[in-house]
Structure 1
Amino acid sequence: MTVERVRQVLEQAKELGSVEWVYFEGGEPFQYYAVLLSGARAAARMGFKVGVVSNAYWATDVADAMEYLGPLAGLVDDFTVSADWYHWDPELRRHIEHAFAASEQLGIPFRVSCVMDPDCLERAGELGRLPIEEAPVMYRGRAAVKLAPGAKNRPWSTLSCCGNEDLREPSRVHVDPVGNVHVCQGISIGRLDQETLREICDSYDPDSNPVVSPLLEGGPVELALRYGLNHESTYADNCHACYEARAALRGMFPEILTPDQMYGVCKELDPLEGFSPH
């Protein structure tokens, strides 16, 4: 996604009149720093509150962190560093500490978002005084493939709702690098190279959407029943069951259940990590 394309999406979000926050997230948005900085400047200039989510790989010391974060000072209202305990090592802690120190000096609001491994809760103390927000694993995407086998499973018949996204009246959407607009990652409701953001949002009808409608009626259980899908007797959580059902339905609904990368089919994408108007 180019600087110009980001600007166009921001202008369309502004025209909606209901978007307050724009988050640049990924993947890793700092890999495309020029586009990130330009997008953050444009979003702030348009009056949006701006958030950035990163793993702070670039904060090799405080001086480097200052170089990266300095141009974002005064633009970013929420800087979140993700600490993934599944890839934990001492170097990650140092990078987070460097990013925190630089953020404090620059006056950038900072927090750490932790996906907590139930077997590694003691690691929270390793981050010391850093502001931590803990979140459970949602077993979708790579987590459904890599982590679900080790999870404590729940009976399939109990997974009858979607508890993580408001699919009827979504308060946020995700825009991916190729322009798909998602109500949940992997459920696209339109493409920005074919319609404007307003047209996509205005035409969204959850009750007629062949994927969203059964999820609203009865969660992943109803999605599998409606299309006669085979299923396991247990899953790690609702997201896991939903992801597996959606992956099985991609041939039936290729325009909705996209892009490939959301379902573990890797091919090169036009770069910039997604950002989420809220």
Structure 2
Amino acid sequence: MALVQWAEERDSMALQGVHLLLTYRCDRECDHCFVWGGPSAQGTMTVEFIRRLLADARRLGTVQRIYFEGGEPFLYYPLLLAGMRLAYAEGFECGIVTNGYWAVGVEEAIAALRPLIDLGLVDLSVSTDRFHGEEDESPEWQRIREAASWLGIPADTISLAPPRAPVCEGNLRLRGRAAERLVAGLPLVPWEELSTCPHEQLAEPERVHVDAFGHVHLCQGLLLGNVREQPFDTLVETYRPEAHPIVGPLLEGGPAALVRRYDLPHAQGYVEECHLCYRAREMLRERFPEYLGPQQVYGGSPTIAGGQNETPSSTVCSRPPSEV
């Protein structure tokens, strides 16, 4: 279907999942991290922020599941529990993405997971691969698997191709820190051939990520807007991908179309689509700061347009009393 015809027939996105980047902080600094998470990363949500965001998500009528991730969400365990209680009270299913650092033993894993049983947890995803340690299955995952089985909690892993193998043969996407640290020595594809976005459903997203600064991510670092400026449900309902200065070209011809549309300097080849897209977006950040950010996701301290330090939001955009 032609982009113009599709745009005329489209109503609004049928969003099913909202992934809360509870914090950008992490106990580890993995080479493949999309959002440059690490011990010094800034930005953690508040309970009030989560409460208001979930209320807006409920108004959409399509959202089914809320994920809590980061960074590492278990670093702020009381906030994780409070957020899950709020999500469960709103009728949402819950999922968690974690590296499992807290599972120092099976008994300790049971203690951490037991309070989550009655909070709508339907998916516990544990990152375990050689980016996180020497083994494909970390000891933490083995303990979590045993604890989750004992408690009756569904748990699975998120694994990426090991760094000793050609990353281009795995399922790693070269954006964020991976675009800086994992491309050396990998075979390249002519930039003109990178003409699709194979990993994200940008035309009709089924899920988005929201961070503590209010940014709503269609893909890490590619923004729909900010809930400090517009209510979350309004942002979703008024999304028009064909009018988005970054999404529009990506739908027409992938990251290669971004290069052509904005006449960007480029290398002759890139490892894969995300690699070129991330590099193109880096060059466009000053031109489109409201659509490309925050700086945290591009390798630096969070900033807003104009270079000011960005601080986490305590609330989302105020809504007139008649609409609350």
Query: Same fold by TM-score, threshold 0.5 exceeded?
Result: yes
Q: Distance in 2 between matches of 1:255 and 1:30?
A: 30
Query: Is the partner of 1:151 in helix, strand or coil?
Result: coil
Kept in 2: contact 1:12–1:198 (CA 8 A): yes
* Cα deviation code 1:89-109 (max 9, x no counterpart): 369721111111111111110
1:184 to 199, 209, 219: 219
Query: Is the partner of 1:174 in helix, strand or coil?
Result: strand
Which residue number in structure 2 is paired with residue 104 of structure 1? 149
Which residue number in structure 2 is paired with residue 158 of structure 1? 193
Q: Distance in 2 between matches of 1:247 and 1:142?
A: 13
Cα root mean square deviation, aligned: 2.1
Which residue number in structure 2 is paired with residue 32 of structure 1? 76
Q: Distance in 2 between matches of 1:212 and 1:87?
A: 32
Is 1:64 equivalent to 2:103 in the alignment? no
Query: Is the partner of 1:193 in helix, strand or coil?
Result: coil
CA drift of 1:118 comes to 6.8
Is 1:114 equivalent to 2:149 in the alignment? no
* Cα deviation code 1:134-169 (max 9, x no counterpart): x60000001111112233322211100101111111
CA drift of 1:71 comes to 0.6
CA drift of 1:61 comes to 0.6
Q: Distance in 2 between matches of 1:56 and 1:151?
A: 30
Where does the alignment leave 5 or more consecutive residues of structure 1 unmatched?
122-134, 273-278
Normalised to the residue count of structure 1, the TM-score between the two structures is: 0.88
Query: Is the partner of 2:159 in helix, strand or coil?
Result: strand
Alignment CA distance shift 1:8-1:79 (3 Å): same
Alignment CA distance shift 1:74-1:153 (3 Å): farther
Q: Distance in 2 between matches of 1:52 and 1:271?
A: 21
CA drift of 1:266 comes to 2.8
2:208 to 173, 180, 184: 173
* Cα deviation code 1:167-211 (max 9, x no counterpart): 111111110121111111111111111111111012211111111
Q: Distance in 2 between matches of 1:261 and 1:21?
A: 26
Q: Distance in 2 between matches of 1:271 and 1:114?
A: 30
Stretches (4+) displaced over 3 A: 118-121, 267-272
Query: Is the partner of 1:86 in helix, strand or coil?
Result: coil
- Aligned pairs for 1:175-254 (under 5 A) are 175-254=210-289
Alignment CA distance shift 1:88-1:152 (3 Å): farther
Alignment CA distance shift 1:53-1:222 (3 Å): same
Deviates more, 1:175-184 or 1:41-50: 41-50
Q: Distance in 2 between matches of 1:91 and 1:164?
A: 24
Letter in 1 for 2:48: E
2:181 to 132, 143, 146: 146
* Cα deviation code 1:24-69 (max 9, x no counterpart): 1111010111111111122122221110000000000111111111
Letter in 1 for 2:92: F
Q: Distance in 1 between matches of 2:200 and 2:61?
A: 21
Q: Distance in 2 between matches of 1:151 and 1:35?
A: 40
Kept in 1: contact 2:129–2:136 (CA 8 A): no
Q: Distance in 2 between matches of 1:163 and 1:228?
A: 23
Which residue number in structure 1 is paired with residue 51 of structure 2? 7
Q: Number of paired residues?
A: 260
Is 1:74 equivalent to 2:118 in the alignment? yes
Query: Is the partner of 1:161 in helix, strand or coil?
Result: coil
CA drift of 1:120 comes to 4.9
Query: Is the partner of 1:229 in helix, strand or coil?
Result: coil
Is 1:136 equivalent to 2:181 in the alignment? no
Which residue number in structure 2 is paired with residue 131 of structure 1? none
Kept in 2: contact 1:177–1:269 (CA 8 A): no
Which structure shows the higher helix fraction?
A: 1
Q: Distance in 2 between matches of 1:47 and 1:111?
A: 23
Kept in 2: contact 1:142–1:264 (CA 8 A): yes
Alignment CA distance shift 1:67-1:29 (3 Å): same
Where does the alignment leave 5 or more consecutive residues of structure 2 unmatched?
1-44, 303-308, 314-324
CA drift of 1:271 comes to 6.8
